[in-house]
Structure formats: C-alpha cells, structure tokens
Amino acid sequence: MTLRTPSLLLLTVFAVTGCKHASTPATTTPAASNGSSTTPAAGVAPAVDPATASSISGIVHFSGDAPARIPIDMSADPACNQLNLPNLTEQTIVTDHRLANVYVYIKSGAPNYTAPSAARPVTLDQKGCRYIPHVLAVQQGGSVSFINSDATTHNIHTMPISSSNASIDISEPANSDAHAQAFSAPEVMLPVRCNNHPWMSAFINVAPNPWFAVSSIDGTFHITGVPPGTYTLAAVHEKLGERDIQITIAPKTAARASFTFAAK
C-alpha cells in the first residue's frame, strides 16, 4: 500500500565509533517518500563481509500528546469476553513519547537479496482474541506461521496489494495446527483481519532484503549485518504514514537513526 509522508517530521541520524575501528559519522539528508520499494533481482545473494558489516539502531519518537487508546468491546464472543484482559486499541501505542509497531527497513540502495534470512517462519499468534504481534516483518520469500492459541475459532484473512502474494481467508478452530503462508513479493503494512472478530487486526511487512526491524514497546529498533553503503532507511506506521531518510554507513560502524512521528 502507498503511504503519503506527513509534513511534520524530525529526524536525526548519527554514527558512533564501532568496537574495533574509528569511523566517520553517518550523514543524512531528507529523501523523497513515494511508498515504493526496490524489488531484488533473481539470483544468488552477495555475501556480506563480517569484517566490514555494521548495525543500525535507534528510537522512534512521538511528538505531542498521544491519542487515547479506546477500550474494545469483546462481549460478542463469551470466550473472548471472559478473559478480563485490558483490551485497548492498538493503532497507536506510545510509551514515554516513544512509538511502538513501526516497521523500519532499508528501502533502497541495498544489494539484491532474495533468500529468506531465517528458515523458520515468523509466527502470528491468535491469543487473547488479539493478533500477536500486531505488526510483524518477514523477508521476501519467507513464511508466516499462523497459529490459534485461543479456545475459540478465529479467521485469517490477508489482503495483499501485490498479485504475487496470495490472499488467504481460512478458519482456524480452537488450538488448531499452524498454517504457514509464504510471501514472495515486498509489501508494506499488508492487512490481516479476523472475519469472526472485527476488532482483531494485524499487519505483515514483506521486506525486500534482510535489513529490517519493528520498533518495540519502548520505540527502539536494531538492524544488524548491514554492509557499508548509502541507503534510504524508511519507517512506516499503520496510521501515521512514512518517514524516509538517507543514511551512509561506514565499515564496522554502530550507526544511529532516529525518526519522529506526530499525531495528524
């Protein structure tokens, strides 16, 4: 899906010295955001030299007052309602002015990679009548394993934009076996819904390379094994849009990148 870049944007990127060598600072300039991503060409992925590989870490900040999270009424399904959990909306989760569930990835400038970064599928659980995690990411060619840990029937309905990613709409009985689904084309914030429970939602991001992360509850993210180069680093939130920056990574560097979102 295409996300427009809001006008409010603060961003800082800086490099710190790596453990073995001194490094030059990472430089940043604003980059245009058009919602597109570079699709890797088919073929053998180039190897990353561990002697020069770097990392990118940072924080996704939230400026201003965070929107209130609204309680969810789960009374339509007694199996969900009796859980007595603090059920609140998940669209914008802010803790101490830090934003969770932001997909951060190298959008362009990266070497071509097609093989999954891990053999095991990423897991999307249906637990407590919620999708856990709310936002996840998998490398192009990898799989998501959908499981149901609840004592009620759920539904998995994915709505990809790319025709290369098959849409699924399946029922998963209580405590049923896992269903794995592969994703062959890059996508940003691919929606997942449960037709049985309309409050349940999640988003799958299919990364075009191995360099991606999702910000945690404290807004932090960490990407490892990045080869030296100049890249467009993107941060995407389901409601607040996309922020793009240019970052130059020196060899064997622990680089820092920060993004700031604000309520629309």
Q: 8-33+52-66+92-111+209-264 with 114-208: one CATH topology?
A: yes
pLDDT tens digits, residue range 164-219? 999 999 999 998 889 999 999 999 999 999 999 999 999 999 999 999 999 999 99
- pTM for this entry: 0.81
Any idea where the domains of the chain sit in the sequence? Answer: 8-33+52-66+92-111+209-264, 114-208
pLDDT tens digits, residue range 92-103? 999 999 999 999
Give the count of alpha carbons within 13 A of 190, CB side only. Answer: 27
CATH code 3.40.50.12780 for 114-208 = no
Give which of 263, 214, 249, 262 is closest to 235, Cα–Cα: 214
| Domain 8-33+52-66+92-111+209-264 CATH (choose: 3.90.1150.10, 2.60.40.1120, 2.30.30.230, 2.40.10.480) | 2.60.40.1120
